[in-house]
Structures are given as structure tokens and as C-alpha cells.
Structure 1
Amino acid sequence: MGKSKMKVYTLEELKDQYIGPIGSPARDAHEHKLSMDLLGRAIRTIRKERNLTQEQLGELVGVQKAQISKLENGTNSATIDTILKVFSALKAEVQFNVRVNQQTLTIR
């Protein structure tokens, strides 16, 4: 008997199959959640590097500790203004790239 070849899938194929194709509501929700998780991890990592508690960072930004906790855990969709304030308080540079019709706008 010959060896049977196992089908190999790309990550994109698996995402399409199990989450949904790009542009579908399920895929958009997944990508948003992933982005918020990554943003939260970045905030937590930088906050700890700066030796700040969530409460101290909240005071610098003008929000409650609970808001910082929610941001770090990816359970809160904060406004861009709040996110910019958080990174400013952490003395971190932020850039947003918006791409529309093959044109990119960078916001700092």
C-alpha cells in the first residue's frame, strides 16, 4: 500500500472555511476581535514596561481603572480618542493607516 497524501490547507483557506470569507460579517467580527486583543496586549505590555498600574494609567488618561482593564482584555471597543490618550500617556507613538481606493492616509 502506498502512502496517502494528506491535504495541506493555508491559514486563509481555514479562516474562509471555519470563520467565513473576507468581507463576511462573521469574518469582520473575528478580525475586529483579533485587532482589539492585539491592541489590548500592546497596552498591557507597554504599561508594565512603564511600571504603571491600571489605576495609574487610568488617572493619566482620565478614565477609571475598569476602562483600562477592559481595553487590555479586548472586551471594550474604545473610541480612537481614548486609544490615542492611552498611548500618549504611555509615551508611545501611534499611527493609523487608512486605505481607500488604492490611496493611503496615515494619521499620527
Structure 2
Amino acid sequence: MAELIKQIGQQIRILRKNRGLTQEQLGEMTQLPQSYVGSVERGEKNISLETLERLINALRISPAEVLGTVQLSEKEKMLDSLKVLLHNRSIKEIEIIYRLSKDVLAAFDAKKY
């Protein structure tokens, strides 16, 4: 059980940082003290499901994103960062970014490193 607590804490830290939040800001969003958030991230607290739900909601993630992987790979971290960047954009802006991304990827594929 202690290993799962540490893994969840590590995931919360990574996802918090990807969103550009400090422990204090996440604490304010969840009505938890900064010191408590820090101890959760270090795997020192056995948090309740209610607290986990508050953290998940504040980070705007699904439970699977905290529980699904032992540790995010660099690729998964970057994909999460892209998701964060796009989250507050309009659908029109996302469609434009999608089309641009497709064009860039097509150029990469054509180059054949």
C-alpha cells in the first residue's frame, strides 16, 4: 500500500507542475494546507478518496491519470502539457492547431530522418 501512496503522490506532483501550479495554489483550490499537499506528493499521507477526488477535480484530470500509470514517461508528460495548453482554447482555435499539427507531422513524415 505504501508504494501506491508514493506513486499517486508522484503523479500529483507531475500533473500539478505541468499546470504551472505551486503546492500553495493547489492547496487553495482544494482547501488543503500547502504542507499537506507537499506531504501527499512525497507519499507521506494516506489520503482519503474524498481528498483524492478534490485533487483530481482541481487538476482537471481523470482518476485514471493518477492511478493508471506507475510513472509518466517523458512523452506522457509532454502530451499532458499539450492538453493543459489547449484546455482553455476555443474549439475554433483547437481546430486550427489540429490542422497545423497535421501539416507539421506530414512534413516530418516526408523528411524521413
TM normalised by structure 1 equals 0.58
Give structure 1 stretches of 5+ with no counterpart: 1-31, 97-108
Question: What CA distance in whole angstroms lies between the structure 2 residues aligned with 1:66 and 1:52?
Answer: 15
Q: Shift of residue 56 of structure 1?
A: 0.1
1:39 maps to a residue whose letter is I
1:42 aligns with 2:11: yes
Question: What CA distance in whole angstroms lies between the structure 2 residues aligned with 1:85 and 1:51?
Answer: 18
Question: What CA distance in whole angstroms lies between the structure 1 residues aligned with 2:7 and 2:24?
Answer: 21
1:74 aligns with 2:46: no
Q: Shift of residue 45 of structure 1?
A: 0.2
Larger strand proportion, structure 1 or 2?
Answer: 1
RMSD: 1.1
**Runs of 4+ with deviation above 6 angstroms:** none
Give structure 2 stretches of 5+ with no counterpart: 68-113
Correspondence for 2:22: 53
> Helix, strand or coil: the match of 2:24?
helix
TM normalised by structure 2 equals 0.56
Q: How many residues are aligned here?
A: 65
1:88-108 per-residue CA deviation (whole Å, 9 max, x = no partner) reads: 100011158xxxxxxxxxxxx
What is the correspondence of 1:1-108 to structure 2 with a 5 Å cutoff?
32-95=1-64
Tell which has more relative contact order, 1 or 2 (C-alpha 8 A, sep 6+). 2
Correspondence for 1:8: none
Larger radius of gyration: 1
Larger helix proportion, structure 1 or 2?
Answer: 2
Question: What CA distance in whole angstroms lies between the structure 1 residues aligned with 2:42 and 2:53?
Answer: 17
Identity of aligned residues (%): 29
Question: What CA distance in whole angstroms lies between the structure 1 residues aligned with 2:29 and 2:23?
Answer: 10
